[in-house]
A and B are shown apart, each in its own frame.
Chain A
Amino acid sequence: MNHLEPDLRVSLGPLKLRNPVLTASGTFGYGKEYAEFVDPNLLGGIVVKGLSLKPRPGNSPPRIVETPAGMLNAIGLENVGVEAFLREKLPWLQTLDTAVIVNIYGHSTEEYGAVAAQLKGAEGVAALEVNVSCPNVKMGGMAFGTDPAASAEVTQTVRKNSDKPVIVKLTPNVTDICAVAGAVEQAGAHALSLINTLTGMAIDTKTRRPRLGNVSGGLSGPAIRPVALYMVYRVVRAVSIPVIGIGGIMDVGDALEFLIAGARAVQVGTANFVNPRASLEIIAGLRKYCIENGIARIEDLIGTVIL
């Protein structure tokens, strides 16, 4: 057995991470919410809740409902807006020694550009994650992400208005995710993250009403993991930029599946709600797996699926 400390560092193009475990947007607040449980400096990074140009109140309740091995959410991108983020949230994040990735969202291509421009030069922001895949807002979001040309246009606009590495977060609610992935790569994305939630609904049989105020919502949790894994596996083979795997990762075994499929990093989302220490337990598990399997660098494991 190799007792040397394994090297968990990964690089995603221009973005260097201490380890491949990030917390997913919308599941970890701005980091501070979990400070009692997770030292953010031990994480690969934090992806903060999606920011729009102006504050958004979000959707009417109910906003969440549990489903078999998963949950539907229709938060509707409630957020403080990019100005309040810079003023109120970023100063604390700047004290951290971890990659802070800012998820951004717009109603129009121009608005995506405007949010990116506001974050230009912001110290302590390691990268942008462009949300072209939110299923819960009427205008924009997934409307961009399901159209390769629109996704590419948003990507180009953000690149033009930003000095940060640009990650584009893809929706699974398409016939061929590789078509969107390829278009976004061509448009200059530095990396891709996938998948966002799968659109779904639930009905209360007593009242015959939808269980979500928004009627439909985004499905997350272990229920979507096999779908996410296969999409990651396919996209990794379709593009040459790094891919971050997301979708129902609850423990180290789940994270390993995505890394072996070819993801260079993973995001832990819904698991944070269930087990606030899930992200740290996954990092500890990766280290242990590397030691037990004689893997000196975690990057040696990435994409090693045997067919």
Chain B
Amino acid sequence: MAVFEHRAEVVQNDEVAPNTYLMGLESPPIASAAKPGQFVMLRVADGIDPLLRRPFSICSTSDGTVVLLLYRAVGKGTRIMAEIRAGSSLSVVGPLGRGFVPPGTGEECLLVAGGMGIAPLVLLARSMEKTGVTLLTGYGTAAEIVSPARLGIEDFAVAVATEDGSAGHHGLVTALLEDALAGKGKKIVYTCGPAAMLKKVASLCLGKGVQCQASLETAMACGLGACLGCVVPAAPGPGRISFHVCQDGPVFSVSSIDWEHL
């Protein structure tokens, strides 16, 4: 599996919701090799502060040449990113990690996203047949919603939950999942979002014996398996004690993770 590092031109950096951006990087090698669920390590500025690269899920690709990253400007790195204009260039490493395993034939796919956790699920959805795929998306409030059209998923069934009830279901996205899991038919769940949400999704799926794959996020220095910073605890059992998110993940079957200690 080839990994590339190069300076990629920023071809777009659009504010798609308040303080939420979709950055496009011209990277034919990464865009053409990327699989749903994989990530890149981005150096948001030259120089030594901030020092480290940031991991970002590949949200989507366009024309096989552009890699799209969805982010909210909340920290030092993402605030710098938000200021970057099209025409600049940034060093990017990728595609990295193990992505989602595709569904079996006839399985109904439920893609459960919390906030920016929608990022890796966009490319996953776009790799699938439109029928039999439902995106369940959760946000704090209506203003945070990223329009499905901006993400290229407008043709999919998309349900929304907001914690303040300003749009869609009033409550957590996991309530939508509970309803969806109550229906008949073989289902598979793909999820990404905050840890508390993932824990709930995992417990719902494990309780019902529904297959579920979750994309995890941790602090990470290299993305290449060298720094050993991105460890997550493995489910109790005879196998591994822990996993490295960068190499063993970022996508894991929820049954392999020790959610209690995550």
Interface of A toward B, CB cutoff 8 Å: 26-29, 33-34, 36-37, 49, 57-58, 60-66, 68-71, 73, 75, 78, 221-222, 250, 270, 272-277
Contacts and interface: CB of A to CB of B under 8 A. Distances in A.
Contact of B5 (A37, A60, A273): A37
B2 interface: yes
B231 interface: yes
Sort A-B residue pairs by CB-CB distance and give the 10 closest, nearest first: A64-B229, A29-B226, A273-B222, A273-B221, A222-B48, A33-B225, A69-B48, A36-B3, A69-B49, A63-B229
Contact of B93 (A57, A71, A276): A276
B72 interface: no
Interface string B1-40: 0111100000000000000000000000000000000000
Contact of A272 (B48, B76, B222, B231): B222
Contacts of A28: 226
Given A63-B229, A274-B51, 13 more contacts: A26-B226, A33-B222, A34-B226, A57-B242, A58-B242, A61-B219, A62-B218, A64-B221, A64-B229, A71-B51, A75-B227, A78-B228, A275-B91
A301 B50 CA distance: 32
A204 to B, nearest CB: 12
Contacts of B151: none
B51 A61 contact: no
13 contacts: A29-B225, A33-B224, A49-B228, A57-B241, A58-B228, A61-B218, A61-B232, A63-B228, A64-B227, A66-B51, A69-B48, A273-B221, A274-B52
B219 A27 contact: no
Contact of A63 (B43, B219, B225): B219
Nearest to B262: A61
Contacts of A29: 224-226
Contacts of A276: 5, 93, 222, 224
Contacts of A78: 228, 231
A277 B5 CA distance: 9
Nearest to B221: A273
Contact of B53 (A58, A68, A222, A274): A274
B15 to A, nearest CB: 25
Residues of B in contact with A, size category? 20 to 34
Contacts of A250: 48
A250 B48 CA distance: 9
Best-surrounded residue of A26, A36, A60, A75 (most CB of chain B within 10 A): A36
A36 B228 contact: no
A34 B219 CA distance: 20
Contacts of A36: 2-4
B50 A66 contact: yes
B51 A270 contact: yes
B226 A68 contact: no
B113 to A, nearest CB: 23
B232 A71 contact: no
Interface string B221-254: 1101111111110000000011000000000000
A73 B231 contact: no
A57 B226 CA distance: 15
B51 A73 contact: no
Nearest to B218: A61
Contact of B227 (A65, A69, A273, A275): A273
A75 B229 contact: yes
Contacts of B52: 66, 71, 273-274
Contact of A61 (B227, B231, B241): B231
Contacts of A66: 50-52, 76, 219
Contacts of A49: 228
Contacts of A222: 48, 51
A71 B233 CA distance: 23
Contacts of B228: 26, 49, 58, 63, 75, 78
A276 B6 CA distance: 11
Contact of A65 (B4, B93, B219, B261): B219
A71 B221 contact: yes
A62 B219 contact: yes
Contacts of B3: 36-37
B5 A27 contact: no
A258 B241 CA distance: 40
A6 B227 CA distance: 33
A70 B231 contact: no
Nearest to A29: B226
A75 B228 CA distance: 7
A222 B50 CA distance: 11
A60 B53 CA distance: 22
A27 B218 CA distance: 18
Contact of A73 (B49, B218, B227): B227
B229 A73 contact: yes
Nearest to A55: B241
Interface in B41-67: 43, 48-53
Interface string B85-108: 000000101000000000000000
